[in-house]
Structure 1
Amino acid sequence: MAAGLSGCDGAAGGKGRVLHVLVGADPSHAAARRAWMARIEREFTAETGATVSFDTFSSAGDEQTRIQSSILSGTGPDIYSIGTTFTPVAYATGSFRVLTGSDWKRIGGRDKFMPSALAMSGPDAQHDIGVPLSERPYGMLYNTALFHSAGISSPPKTWDQFLTDAKKLTNRKAGVYGTAMDYADPYDPWKFIWTFALQSGARLTSDNVSKAQLDDPRIAGAVDHYFDFLGTQHVVDPASVGWNSAQATAAFAAGKAAMLPMVNPQAAATLEKSAVRGTYRFVPLPLVPFGATARPHGGLAAGSIVSGDNLVVAGYTKHANLAMDFLALVTSTPEQKYYNRAFGDLPSVASAARGRVASDSRIAEYIAAEKTSIPTTFSGAWAQIQLGLGNVVAQSLPALAKGGYDPSAVRRLLSTANDTVQSSLNEQRH
């Protein structure tokens, strides 16, 4: 892995140089994303004389492909914005810069970041590769007006209560459903399976991360529960089998869904301009699994993955100093506050977070959800886990669109995914 600053670029001599940065396309906030990129381009050039050239990836699979191609060729973006769950995958390649004390000092110090934001920066504090750009805890939105009309006084604390409430809130004649789901989203479905599984006591790998456990019956049960919202319980719009996150959020924003689980603070940008403005709240997800009134032995209070975006620097970059200047800029307190206002993500920098809590009461709700976050497995095999669970859902959608699914087919898909993950885990040990 790369270490130590290289080159003579940076604030003193950046003119004529181009820093290439890869970020997520973020279709839910396309205009805000373009505005942010333009803002950073202007400010970076003003500070360094250099130019930032942004490119985007569209999905987790696209992200992984771009990283692999660049590693093999030794050319590509200088900086990658990657999800926290993909940081272990990037680390395992040995192709990204391990941040030194000098690097952190140039960025503004490791201690300026929220401790929770650093949870997925590396396997330990001495081997960080990720500089936190944002935190994005997952939770649940609920429509307070619809809850009041249905005589429901508080959001559900268990998944059984969630389902009971969803049934009570569903009014098909009015086109209103108890909850919205985004079954076709490229990022969200696996998180439901992970949440249900961990709360029930299952783990996706053994504790020493040597054995894949996607064939655990409790994980198959987690998939069943996820599909049953549509297939047997009928508490979601049948059209949701083809929805992504933006479409599910739009249904909630139009008052057509009373709850929206597995949503992050970014939704606020849409909701504050919608029909439900002033009549929704953000709360942690239920923490008790289906069929229980308390978590079983080994069950975790997993309300969210440790989620957000990390910025990693490619080992092959010839612009390491410029990369540090870029990281310092986007994690400065003013830019962190701007990013929060633009996208809703929690600031990763403590001073910015404190400032936003004082001016926006919703930030406290997001922090409450962040406290239920559990880190995903820090292993290079994580990509196969995440993509494997996503594929189980994707391959089941045609059947689900027809009103059902084949549980035995789900278990075969999980078995195949388990074999792939096991092969990847074996490779990590060699």
Structure 2
Amino acid sequence: MNLRGAASATLLVVAATACGSGAGSDGEQAKTLTYWASNQAAGIELDRKILEPELAAFQKSTGIKVNLEVIPWSDLQTRILNAAASGRGPDVVNIGNTWSTSLQATGAFVEFDDATLAKVGGKGRFLASSMSSTGAPGLPPGSLPLYGMAYGLYYNKKRFAEAGIDEPPKTWQELVGTARKLTGGGRYGLTLLGASYTEGVHFAWMFGRQNGASVFDGEHPAFDTPEMVAGVKRYLDLIAVDKVVNPSDAEKTQDAQLYTDFASGKAAMMIMQNHGTAGLAAFDMDPDEYGVVPIPLPEDARQPVTSHVAGINITAFAESRNREGALKFIEFMTSPQEQTKLNKAFGSLPVVNGVTDPAFAAGHNKVFAEVLATAQPLPMIPQEAQFETLVGTAVKDLFAQVATGERVTESDIKAKLSEAGQKLLNGG
């Protein structure tokens, strides 16, 4: 998951829930924390059902009560930015890990220098790849990893068997060829969230990086390079040229829409992060009914990028009246024991060393863990969030165009990406 909107964007100062820096005596504050959790499960009530027993265990151990609010991703950006502007935020908050540098630039969050890191288990507690997406290089992290995610290619074994396909594709060229064999009769080889700008920017970045794109030249946008244009075109070609994606996918924004088509056999493959395993279980699909492999690379790939370092981070507001309690809570949430429980429940991956549960070292989880271990972070600069919003929206709009049968050329793609870069230079 990823935060959209730069830290420098207009901050709407509205009344926020009084929490770590709000009302109440210092004594009361020392015994309580407010925690804004991101929506990880199929619904907010399920998030609460998963988290509340763990928060009760933390209270039993420390005497600190945690007041939980689970916030939908559609609202979390605004809530956090408002809290950063007003100084009236929670004690602890989840963030998309690619938001790290943009939020760090606000100065509203705890700096995890060596002394602070020691209070939450030390830097060595965390996986190196996940730590690469915690803030600007050269500065103390502004957040710490909580849940790990990575992309993979899911394939429906029944659909493959029906088509006489013995194994998943190993290259991008094979993926397209396989998807063509699986398309026909109202069924498609692949399903995508075409109306999701977050997915759009992820594909643009991954495919651009595979071509050798740098995306930024220092802090200057390089969105319209030939490498980026070719990457976006490869994504659009799945629907415009290869015709292996249903044009109606241009209207899809929710993961559940992909699960429906994949589980029913309407789509034989989908590209999804590892939380898709929990999502498919909710659609009564047994893990043995599908396989997962890394996203196949083009034969001429210049960078072996099959995912960005995806996931959720956790951080504390610097204005918290119970900073020590907040750090204790972060230590608790990132302990190997809690990492085992929570990542199992949410279908995500542990981001700390010392997790020994075999469930994370076998099957689909093993594939995703190996991808995450070698993944690259999205640009860790303050403008990253603007990059996500602007490029993601451009790709979403282009996807909608080709879905209607409109011809989109490389020049059209370059113009759209150039426009996104200019908007970033003009402040978004």
Q: Is TM-score (shorter-chain normalized) higher than 0.5? A: yes
What SS does the aligned partner of 2:194 have? coil
- Pair 1:79 & 2:82 matched: no
What SS does the aligned partner of 2:275 have? helix
Contact 1:253 1:270 in 2 (8 A): no
Q: Residues of 2 paired with 1:113 and 1:14: CA distance?
A: 32
Report the alpha carbon displacement of residue 35 of structure 1 after superposing the two structures with TM: 1.4
Runs of 4+ in structure 1 displaced over 4 angstroms?
13-17, 357-360, 405-410
Q: Residues of 2 paired with 1:372 and 1:200: CA distance?
A: 17
1:84-163 matches, cutoff 5 A? 84-124=97-137, 127-163=140-176
Matching residue of 1:25: 39
Check 1:162–1:397 CA distance in 2 against 1; reply closer, same or farther (3 A cut): closer
Partner amino acid, structure 2, of 1:202: A
What SS does the aligned partner of 2:203 have? helix
Q: Residues of 2 paired with 1:137 and 1:118: CA distance?
A: 14
Q: Residues of 2 paired with 1:307 and 1:344: CA distance?
A: 13
Partner amino acid, structure 2, of 1:150: A
Check 1:211–1:132 CA distance in 2 against 1; reply closer, same or farther (3 A cut): same
Q: Residues of 1 paired with 2:213 and 2:89: CA distance?
A: 39
- Pair 1:294 & 2:300 matched: yes
Residues 224-270 of structure 1: CA distance to partner in whole angstroms, max 9, x if unpaired? 32223223322122321121222112211222211111x12211123
Partner amino acid, structure 2, of 1:382: E
Matching residue of 1:66: 79
Contact 2:250 2:403 in 1 (8 A): yes
Q: What RMSD over aligned residues (CA atoms) do the two structures have, in Å? A: 2.7
Residues 34-86 of structure 1: CA distance to partner in whole angstroms, max 9, x if unpaired? 212322332233233333233344347x4433332222211112222111211
Q: 1:240 aligns with which of 249, 258, 269?
A: 249
Matching residue of 1:180: 191
Contact 1:384 1:420 in 2 (8 A): no
Contact 2:135 2:143 in 1 (8 A): yes
Matching residue of 1:319: 322
1:326-337 matches, cutoff 5 A? 326-337=329-340
Partner amino acid, structure 1, of 2:51: M
Matching residue of 2:376: 374
Matching residue of 2:51: 37
- Pair 1:279 & 2:293 matched: no
Check 1:358–1:287 CA distance in 2 against 1; reply closer, same or farther (3 A cut): closer
Q: 1:362 aligns with which of 361, 364, 387?
A: 364
Partner amino acid, structure 2, of 1:108: G
Q: 2:233 aligns with which of 218, 224, 248?
A: 224
TM-score by length of 2: 0.85
Report the alpha carbon displacement of residue 272 of structure 1 after superposing the two structures with TM: 3.5
Contact 2:180 2:244 in 1 (8 A): yes
Check 1:415–1:370 CA distance in 2 against 1; reply closer, same or farther (3 A cut): same
Structure 2 spans left out of the alignment, 5+ residues: 1-19, 22-26
Greater shift, 416-425 or 159-168, is seen at 416-425
Check 1:409–1:51 CA distance in 2 against 1; reply closer, same or farther (3 A cut): farther
What SS does the aligned partner of 1:347 have? coil
Partner amino acid, structure 2, of 1:36: I
Contact 2:197 2:389 in 1 (8 A): no
Partner amino acid, structure 2, of 1:220: V
Q: Residues of 2 paired with 1:409 and 1:66: CA distance?
A: 36
Report the alpha carbon displacement of residue 17 of structure 1 after superposing the two structures with TM: 4.2
Give me the identity figure in percent: 28
TM-score by length of 1: 0.85
- Pair 1:196 & 2:207 matched: yes
Report the alpha carbon displacement of residue 359 of structure 1 after superposing the two structures with TM: 7.0
Greater shift, 81-90 or 409-418, is seen at 409-418
Partner amino acid, structure 1, of 2:328: D
Report the alpha carbon displacement of residue 112 of structure 1 after superposing the two structures with TM: 1.9
Q: Residues of 2 paired with 1:414 and 1:378: CA distance?
A: 20
Check 1:339–1:356 CA distance in 2 against 1; reply closer, same or farther (3 A cut): farther
Matching residue of 1:339: 342
Matching residue of 1:350: 353
Greater shift, 77-86 or 62-71, is seen at 62-71
Partner amino acid, structure 2, of 1:205: F
Number of equivalences: 402
Contact 1:283 1:369 in 2 (8 A): no
Residues 256-309 of structure 1: CA distance to partner in whole angstroms, max 9, x if unpaired? 211111x12211123335345412111111122xxxx322xxx21110001111
Check 1:31–1:64 CA distance in 2 against 1; reply closer, same or farther (3 A cut): closer
Residues 369-427 of structure 1: CA distance to partner in whole angstroms, max 9, x if unpaired? 224411111100101111111211343455345333644654443222101333569xx
- Pair 1:211 & 2:220 matched: yes
Residues 193-247 of structure 1: CA distance to partner in whole angstroms, max 9, x if unpaired? 11111111222112xx132111213323322322232233221223211212221
Report the alpha carbon displacement of residue 29 of structure 1 after superposing the two structures with TM: 5.1
Partner amino acid, structure 2, of 1:189: G
Matching residue of 1:256: 266
